[in-house]
Structure 1
Amino acid sequence: MSARIAPGELGTITVRPRGASWTAQANGRDLAGFKRTVHATGTTKKDAKKVLRRKWESTTVASGRSLTKHSTIRHAAAVWLDESRSAVSAESLNAYRNRALNITDGRGTRGKYRGVRDREGGVGAMPLKMVTLSWVRREVLRTREEYGNAAAMETYSALRAILRTAVLHEALPYNPASGAVSVQDLPRSKDVHALRPDAFRAVWSALEAWGVGEPTFRVEKGRLMSLLQVGLLGALRCGEALAIREQDILADRIRISGTIVQPAKGPAYRQPFTKTRENSFVEFTPELHAVIEEQRRAMVPNAEGLLFASRAGTPIPVVNIGRTMRKFSSAHEPVFKALDFPHNEFTFHVMRRTAATLLQDEFGEDAARQALAHHGTTALRHYAAAPELGVTAESVKLLSSLF
């Protein structure tokens, strides 16, 4: 066998007649670099070659699958999903699966908000060797023209992840999606990322006045307000704020070490790690300490010691918080209209964006990144000098001024 055949590649296929059928044979090198000879039979020359390539792809092992330049986007998407299975939650994996189906087959379920949008046709049969930067760009911009920026961004992020998997399997020399489109190519029609201080105070005033005189609503509203305060002051995701336990409340800070997830079947539960699998912290200030102590007095006793728990003492699903926030925003649509902020865009994540925007404006990009527990680069976490992720007391004090 020629030494020029790279690991994972198949050499020249030879086809010979054998009675009424055809036999195909080829030498190849598996991903460990060892020589292998593959045989296959088909009714025609073309069929025999197809069967042989499928046999090669199904038996060359790399995380259970293999990819070559002859593999298709559909095959690469399947490998991406397989390798993501152990790294993300079931809910995230389902979202990835929908995005992959939308790209490969032109179908998929739309999410709760701006999730996957169904579209006609797919690109699953496209061989990896034919995928170029310009092809990715045309596909993303076509999606933008037909379905808008949100769908185009999802298409781009999914294609980039799928093609990155192909690069890791050495099926492609580089990722053709990297740099194919930029933020300027997918401009937002309106900035709905965050609330500016005056707008936030108007919304918070409406929230404080909401449901006055309704005793049955007082517990739900009080819990929501405390949760929003903790989430904003800590720049937290909703699931991370809901997952705070009494043992996470230390003398001078709150440790963020888990999140609440909702499986497709069964009740919500506390996952013992965050979305990024990195612990972070929120330093105490008198304002934040007062909010925590008030919630401690109101908390429902529960086995896990969750600061925020349902009346039955179980973890609160994130969707329940979203439902309460939508109820509030729908009831106060005129308030949001006066602020030129779409009421249906008011979500818990807006608190996190609001915090990040204020921190970036005041202290710079690094402070905002540190508060969001984002790494500047994927390699940063491996260095001893990497900054501790979390929200400093100075940042909490700035965010407290919003109230």
Structure 2
Amino acid sequence: MPRARLPIGTFGEITTRRVSSGRFEARTRYRDWDGRSRQVQATGSTATAAERALKGKLASRFLFQPTNADLTPDSPFGDLVTYWLEDIDLEGRISRTTRNLYERNMRTLVTPAFENLTLREIGVARCDRFIKQLAKLSYNRAKQARVVLRLALELAVRHEILPSNPMDHVSRLYRAPHIPDALTAPEVNVIRAAIAQWESAAGHISGPKPDGQLGAIVEVMLGTSARIGEVLAIRRRDIDITGPVPSIRLAGTIVSRNGEQPFRQDHPKTAKSRRVVALPTFASDAVRRRLANAGSMGLDDLLFQSRDGTPLTTANVRRQLRQVLSGVGIDGVTPHMFRRTVATPVNDNASIELAAELLGHTDTRVTVMHYIQRSELVNPATAALLDRAFAKDEG
């Protein structure tokens, strides 16, 4: 007859025997967390002492610790952070860039406030107060801290180290109303003129002369609403400039990580935001000029690249744009502002759905909240409607 299977975390009959002069051994079978039954033994000077030692050894085996038997509610918060990062690496579900961002936010924003606490000392009130205090300094920092703290404590709950996640009961974060910044057509033309003047190399003194890429990058951002990383990831194969409707396929982004060379990722910010965008004339003209200046290109060559043929980094383009514009007294313009600038007229002249489609959003609420500059002007048709509704009697 087959031996009956023990429930997980239990042991069978204990047997004892003399193993040498003055030494006794107690042994039994114990079913571990992984479902396997293992033989466990201990020795003592008497049979009773050996059995007592065996029971102590069995009691020390943690039932719900599949990979880290040392993590308990009394462990310091830093041990959970290490365990959480190891679990992220083991799972391999998120990108390396996001993983590094999580680690940075945990180390810089959360750990300083919790490093001297054990896990059982981290309750709802403490978490709620921490998030609110951080939100007074920065909404974005509080939001980022909230994400990583919730994820780490959620892991502790899943692995039955903690009974519940205190972050589940922390109050919501509220952000002050924000009006997206967008440029007007005259402001766009001033920026174009400033870049053109710089690229003409008038008064150039030393170093490599401008190669015309900055102006073309701006025109493509204005013509596609693409993120700066998406524009820098455009390959020759993504461009159709000879068809009846010139277009660009946005299907990647440039990723830059500390200590690594920048590289092209084979999808934009999200895999769902791949899209083919028809080009307005000003953008298609800029692409044609760039192709002519670049000369012979392979299908996988980047439209915009360094003199060594490597990807341009988003940080370098931002810095170059800032330096060029600050030289003529224009401050505060970022590549992302062009993205908002495009969304506003598309919404005003067509629909929010078309603006969201152009931006690569799957939810129009994101488009409304972060990309559409709301006009204060109410449709003047209301005046005629009210005249008809409440006109004075002439008698």
Shorter-normalised TM range: 0.5 to 0.7
- Cα deviations across residues 216-245 of structure 1 (Å, max 9, x unaligned)? 899637311211221233222222111111
Q: Structure 2 matches for 1:229-244, cutoff 5 A?
A: 229-244=219-234
**Counterpart-to-counterpart distance in 1, 2:154 and 2:80:** 9
How many residue pairs are counted as aligned between the two chains? 321
RMSD: 4.7
**Counterpart-to-counterpart distance in 2, 1:39 and 1:352:** 65
1:141 counterpart residue number: 132
Q: 1:98 aligns with which of 86, 104, 123?
A: 104
**Counterpart-to-counterpart distance in 2, 1:36 and 1:356:** 63
Is 1:256 the equivalent of 2:250?
yes
Q: Structure 2 matches for 1:2-401, cutoff 5 A?
A: 30=33, 34=35, 52=60, 57=65, 60-61=66-67, 73-85=77-89, 86-106=92-112, 121-123=113-115, 125-127=117-119, 134-145=125-136, 147-166=137-156, 176-177=166-167, 180-182=170-172, 184=174, 186-187=175-176, 191=178, 193-197=180-184, 200-201=187-188, 204-205=191-192, 207-208=194-195, 210-211=197-198, 212=200, 213-214=202-203, 220=210, 222-250=212-240, 251=243, 253-278=247-272, 280-287=274-281, 288-299=283-294, 301=296, 304-332=300-328, 334-336=329-331, 343=332, 346-359=333-346, 365-376=352-363
Q: Which runs of 5+ in 2 are unaligned?
A: 11-29, 43-55, 365-395
> In 2 relative to 1, CA 65–301 (structure 1 residues): closer, same or farther, beyond 3 Å?
farther
Instruction: Report the 3-state secondary structure (helix = DSSP H, G, I; strand = E; otherwise coil) of the residue aligned with 1:307.
Output: coil
Q: Which runs of 5+ in 1 are unaligned?
A: 12-26, 42-47, 107-120, 337-342, 378-403
Instruction: Report the 3-state secondary structure (helix = DSSP H, G, I; strand = E; otherwise coil) of the residue aligned with 2:271.
Output: coil
* Kept in 2: contact 1:68–1:170 (CA 8 A): no
> In 2 relative to 1, CA 227–173 (structure 1 residues): closer, same or farther, beyond 3 Å?
farther
**Counterpart-to-counterpart distance in 1, 2:103 and 2:307:** 34
> In 2 relative to 1, CA 68–206 (structure 1 residues): closer, same or farther, beyond 3 Å?
farther
1:367 Cα offset (Å): 3.9
Indicate the percent of aligned positions where both proteins have the same amino acid.
Answer: 24
**Counterpart-to-counterpart distance in 1, 2:347 and 2:152:** 32
TM-score (norm 1): 0.61
> In 2 relative to 1, CA 206–290 (structure 1 residues): closer, same or farther, beyond 3 Å?
closer
1:361 Cα offset (Å): 5.4
**Counterpart-to-counterpart distance in 1, 2:61 and 2:348:** 55
**Counterpart-to-counterpart distance in 2, 1:173 and 1:359:** 50
- Cα deviations across residues 272-308 of structure 1 (Å, max 9, x unaligned)? 2333234511321442433322222223655532111
**Counterpart-to-counterpart distance in 2, 1:80 and 1:122:** 15
Compare CA radii of gyration and give the structure with the larger one.
Answer: 2
* Kept in 2: contact 1:39–1:52 (CA 8 A): no
**Counterpart-to-counterpart distance in 2, 1:142 and 1:357:** 35
* Kept in 2: contact 1:105–1:122 (CA 8 A): yes
> In 2 relative to 1, CA 291–132 (structure 1 residues): closer, same or farther, beyond 3 Å?
farther
Instruction: Report the 3-state secondary structure (helix = DSSP H, G, I; strand = E; otherwise coil) of the residue aligned with 1:370.
Output: helix
> In 2 relative to 1, CA 293–160 (structure 1 residues): closer, same or farther, beyond 3 Å?
farther
2:48 counterpart residue number: none
- Cα deviations across residues 320-373 of structure 1 (Å, max 9, x unaligned)? 2122022124324x444xxxxxx3xx3222223433455555555544443333
* Kept in 1: contact 2:77–2:115 (CA 8 A): yes
